[in-house]
Amino acid sequence: MKNYFLSILLIVLIISCAENPKYIGNSDGDSELVNSSEEKLSKDSSEDVEAAFEQLGGLLNMGNKDDTDNKKDKLPEVEALEKLLQLAGTQTERNDGSIQEMLSSVGILEMLEASGVSREELEKLINNPDSLAILASEARKKRVAQKSVTMGDLTQGKLSDGQLSSKSSAAGLSIEEAMLLVQAESGIEATIEKLKQVDSLAGTNTMEQLDLETAQQVFNAVEQRKEAAANLDEKEKMALLRKRTTQLHNDKEAITLLAELEQIEADIASGKIKASPQYESFIKNRRKRAKIYGSAFKTKSKKAMDKFRKLNPDLYFGEGAGGTYVGAGIGATAVYLPLGKMAFADKVISAYHPKQQINNLNNVIGEPDVLYGYEVDDVTGIYSLGDGGDLTVQFIDNALTDVNGPDLYIFEYGTVEPTDLEISEDGKNWIRVGKIEGGVAEVDISQFVKPGELFYYVRLKDLMKTTSLPGADIDAIATIGSAMRLNLDSKVLFETGKAELKPEGIHALKALAQSIAVLKRGNVIIEGHTDDVGSEASNQKLSLARAKSVSTELKKLIPGTGFKWRERGLGESKPLVKNDNDKNRAKNRRVEVLVLPN
């Protein structure tokens, strides 16, 4: 219900802003003129709307079902939402500052009545999960159209855009140029004397015909016009930074973005980067907002980690290993992953798309990175399965295992569409977990698997619910219940048929030890594997001896008591590929190191 009200609120605010434009543009569309005739929203309050609106985007994109449990501190996004309600004219009393209190039915109805949202539009929202983006797009187009009001409209036909820029006097000055000269000498406040000066310099009597209120609007507009606008390259960077600032995916990304903006601001100040005034101002404001969003993300990150550790007090790799991630869209949950970046799928094994649209297939690999705008099709970083399509991915450096609570997280853009899920240890024998739906992307596999089992493959199949982007729209797939998996080639470690480590083998283990030591703690299982040459008994004996050699060396390289060690010799029982040629046999001769949380 909260998400429903948030959706309504977002549409109301967009449409409300569309009905009260901040700018009036000239006929060429090259510049925008401030409409100072709006009495209810000054320039400052309009900037508050823009800032608060983007913070509302942060709220929608970083929602957490557990936020309502802690009402002691008010996050910046909540304050922004209160500001938006205030600017929209809602005077609802609030007792505790909670989202539920702020979004009371009275407040929503007041906003609906004031903004003119029709019942048909609301029904579209209810019946179509993608209608929010559609209505936002329509409102944005409406707002752009309203920006095309001309100078003639502003001055009731007494001064056109052409008159403002034309040069008809002997001095060769346009009204606009004359106005800038007067403003530079005595400021932008409109007076009768200044209007006469402008007319005198431009050789007209146009300005004297305007009342002082209208003349002040023209003065303000011309003053704003003179500021150099951002160039095309800067505008593209600004558009991307708007998305990145309000659509953070993980706690480390928040830190990186803030550092990036601080560096750009410093480079502009030092002259290293030549920037337009508009771009310079944009970077300054963006840096401030990134700091706010980063602080809010830090709060959510701690909540997500605490929630995980409460469910799994002994299942923890250490603070430096894990990370918190947030999906895209309204009410997306913050989820803590014990292995952080390593927890995500590493390889696409196969995919079927009904229309063969697989260009963006690798978007499902690695961390979530979806970015989207107001337009329905303005989205990057996802792969749409297509109606009835399927996708199989593999985890190479980690494995899925059962823990307390959710074990797998599907980062999906938009509504979580009905999707069938299967998991497998070897990519051949599959366990059907069932259907994911109802806005829940977390999956608990406990009732389908045995404790300690490890799975390396996940298969998703869309169950054909039609939306604007056909099929489930996948951004990333991650294991919450994770085990690190590292694979070493026996050829690098040992001579043929031997279990003593070679010098280059010891060197390889030093690099591997660094990867394990990052985790601080865990259960280390070292498995030896062979090909099918020789007897099963001899292969089992050799594989165990090799596992023990690797374990002994790693214990020297990773001192401390944070890890528990175990060795297993599996011989030829678990080949990666068929032992039908020399190349495949070489792949099967290996030592695997698994690190499971304690």
Give me the mean pLDDT over the 545-561 stretch.
Answer: 88
Note whether residue 146 is domain-resident: no
Do residues 194 and 182 touch, judged by C-beta distance below 8 A? yes
Is residue 52 over pLDDT 70?
Answer: no
pLDDT at 170: 65
**CA separation for the pair 45, 195 (Å, rounded):** 29
Identify the pLDDT of residue 547. 92
432 pLDDT more than 90:
yes
Q: How confident is the model at residue 315 (pLDDT cuts 50, 70, 90)?
A: low
Residue 256 pLDDT level (bands cut at 50, 70, 90): very high
Q: What is the pLDDT of residue 418?
A: 82
Range ranked top by mean pLDDT from 17-31, 485-499, 523-537: 523-537
**343 and 284 share a domain?**
no
- Average pLDDT rounded to a whole number, residues 48-65: 46
State the DSSP code for 321: T
Are residues 473 and 392 part of one domain?
A: yes
177, part of any domain: no
Let me know if residue 7 belongs to a domain: no
The answer to the question of residue 120 being in a domain is: no
Task: Specify whether 475 is located in the same domain as 339.
Answer: yes
**What are the DSSP E strand ranges found in 327-439?**
334-337, 347-352, 371-372, 379-380, 383-384, 390-394, 398-400, 408-412, 419-424, 430-436
Q: Do 475 and 514 belong together in one domain?
A: no
Residue 422's pLDDT is 94
pLDDT score recorded for residue 320: 67
Q: Higher-confidence residue: 336 or 87? A: 336
Share of the chain above pLDDT 70, in %: 67
Tell me, yes or no, whether 170 lies in a domain: no
Judge if 503 and 591 occupy the same domain. yes
CB 541 within 8 A of CB 500: no
> What is the model's pLDDT at position 203?
86
440 and 545 share a domain? no
Residue 393 clears pLDDT 90, i.e. is over it: yes
Q: What is the mean pLDDT of residues 395-408?
A: 87
Closest CA to 489 of 574, 548, 546: 546
Q: Which residue has the higher pLDDT, 324 or 481?
A: 324
Same domain, residue pair 347 and 274: no
Burial (CB count within 10 angstroms: exposed 0-12, middle 13-18, buried 19+), residue 359 = exposed
Question: Does one domain contain both 494 and 554?
Answer: yes
For the cut 70, the answer to whether the pLDDT of residue 172 exceeds it is: yes
pLDDT score of 57 more than 70:
no
Tell me: do 351 and 473 sit in the same domain: yes
Helices (H), 203-352: 212-225, 232-246, 251-270, 277-311
CATH of the domain at 358: 2.60.120
Domain edge (last residue) among 451, 480, 509: 480
H or E stretch at 192: helix 192-202
Range 269-292 average pLDDT: 89
Task: Please give the pLDDT value at position 316.
Answer: 60
Cα distance between residue 227 and residue 185, in whole Å: 17
Predicted confidence at residue 152, as pLDDT, reads 64
In a shared domain, residues 401 and 518? no
Percentage with pLDDT > 90 across the chain: 20
Residue 351 and residue 300 share a domain: no
What pLDDT score does 47 carry?
44
Strand 419-424 vs strand 457-462: parallel, antiparallel, or unpaired? antiparallel
State mean pLDDT over 153-181: 76
Residues 446-458: what's their mean pLDDT? Answer: 89
Question: Is 93's pLDDT higher than 70?
Answer: no
Range of the domain at 568: 484-596
pLDDT above 90 (res 458): yes
Contact 525, 551 (CB under 8 A): no
Q: Is residue 59 predicted with pLDDT exceeding 80?
A: no
Instruction: pLDDT band for 344, please (50, 70, 90 cuts).
Output: very high
Of 480, 498, 518, the residue that ends a domain is 480
Model confidence at 520, in pLDDT bands (50, 70, 90)? confident
Higher local confidence (pLDDT), 9 or 570: 570
* Residue among 150, 155, 117 nearest 135 (CA): 117
Picking from 498, 267, 477, the residue whose alpha carbon sits closest to that of residue 351 is: 477
**In terms of domains, do 381 and 501 share one?**
no
